[in-house]
Amino acid sequence: MRTQVGIIGAGPAGLMLALLLRREGIDAVVLESRSRAYVEQRVRAGLLEQWARDLLVEIGAGDRLQREGMVHDGIRLSCLGRLHAIDFRALVGRTVTIYDQKEVVKDLIALLIERGGEVLFEAEATAVDGITRDAPAIRFRHGGAETTLDCDIVAGCDGFHGIARPAIPDGVLTVYERGYPFGWLGILSESPPPSDELIYAYHERGFALFSMRAPTVSRLYLQCAPDEDVERWSDARIFDELETRLGGSCALARGRVLQKGVTPMRSVVVEPMQHGRLFLAGDSAHIQPPTGAKGMNLAFADVVYLSRALVAHYRQGRSDGLDAYSRTCLDRVWKAQRFSWFMTQLLHRFPDETAFDRRRQLADITYLAGSTAAATALAENYSGLPLA
């Protein structure tokens, strides 16, 4: 097989890149190790920054998004029994949209296939060769046969545990990483959310997040140990703890629990995000705590930058965009990491914290609630910094 750009991974990054390239007449083939059904049902958070929502509409993948996406003007901070509003629309003129990542993936797959794009499901990439030469190749298994995809460029969009990042030789990459001494116990509940906006709650017993997936379906999270045994948490115990951490700031409806699980948290950035003709995007290159809601948005930003560079490469013979890809992406990535860390340390309880730390957190929250300048900085970062 032969194409111009070989893309490993049919997540948001890989699919968006394929669509952006197809729009510009650049050939690409997407290889995905899982089945289409698995990919379309894979549960992930789904919050879109304003520009990312606009991008989906612009490329033609926004019909369902515009009908079903839940637009939010801001967030609420819950602390000491009070709700504090951070109004993004009023502060920076932008909003965010709740729309499940699996629904985004469904829309992108359907559009890519409709436009004649090539996606091979159950095609497991096993090796990437020749990335420092002019003729890289991706070896993969599909339909019981070993096959090679020859290409000009390889885009590694296959997540942190994929094969793309390890294809870069030892000594080339620097990995920046930090773990967190907690995770999130999350449930999907058949109940209306407690507010029309997301609630980020600070409480002496730990952080809680009150989100939604539909007007009658809530997505709720509790800070917990990273290795928490979910079987120890009955539905009643979870709702009791959620009510406690809301601190009486608003009422919480209870409902049938549809899903339950624990998500560990970590921060990872690899530098550079490119080597030779291999370019990393999305979780292949960076992971951040979900507190800042940056995962899918950063993945889209990466491939917007990469698609621009590839268009200049194929249309004008320019290499400056490709050469600067890592530097351009990492500027945004580190700003997103900074914001995700800010939100995480603002609202979570740390095992080694002191009374001073707790008082400082409360001062941060009350400062945000009372300062237009501080609230504007949060709104700007949360709703999405402009693309370079």
Could you say which of 290, 305, 313, 314 is catalytic? 290
What is the end-to-end Cα distance of the chain in Å, rounded?
35
Could you say which of 99, 106, 180, 200 is catalytic? 200
Give the Cα separation of 211 and 217 in Å (integer).
9
Give yes or no: 382 in active site: yes
Give the Cα separation of 243 and 344 in Å (integer).
21
Complete DSSP assignment for 250-310? S-----EEEEEEEEEEEEEEEE-SEETTEEE-GGGTEE--GGG--HHHHHHHHHHHHHHHH
Q: Tell me the residue type at 15.
A: L
Place of tokens 């296959």: 158
Give yes or no: 294 in active site: yes
Give yes or no: 72 in active site: yes
State the burial class of residue 356 (Cβ atoms within 10 Å of its Cβ: 0-12, 13-18, 19+): exposed
Q: Tell me the residue type at 164.
A: A
Could you say which of 294, 313, 314, 348 is catalytic? 294
Query: What does each C-alpha distance from 370 to 86, 303, 353, 366 come to in angstroms?
Result: 10, 37, 25, 6
Could you say which of 12, 72, 305, 313 is catalytic? 72
State the burial class of residue 150 (Cβ atoms within 10 Å of its Cβ: 0-12, 13-18, 19+): middle
Q: Which two tokens stand for residue 163?
A: 């094969």
Torsion (CA) 333, 339, 345, 347 in degrees, nearest 10: -130
- Centroid of chain to Cα 266: 13
Residue 248 has, within 13 A of its CA and on its CB side, a CA count of 2
Give yes or no: 367 in active site: no
Q: Which two tokens stand for residue 179?
A: 């773990």
Are the CB atoms for 223 and 233 separated by under 8 Å? no
* DSSP-based three-state secondary structure for 239: helix
Catalytic residues: 72, 200, 290, 294, 382
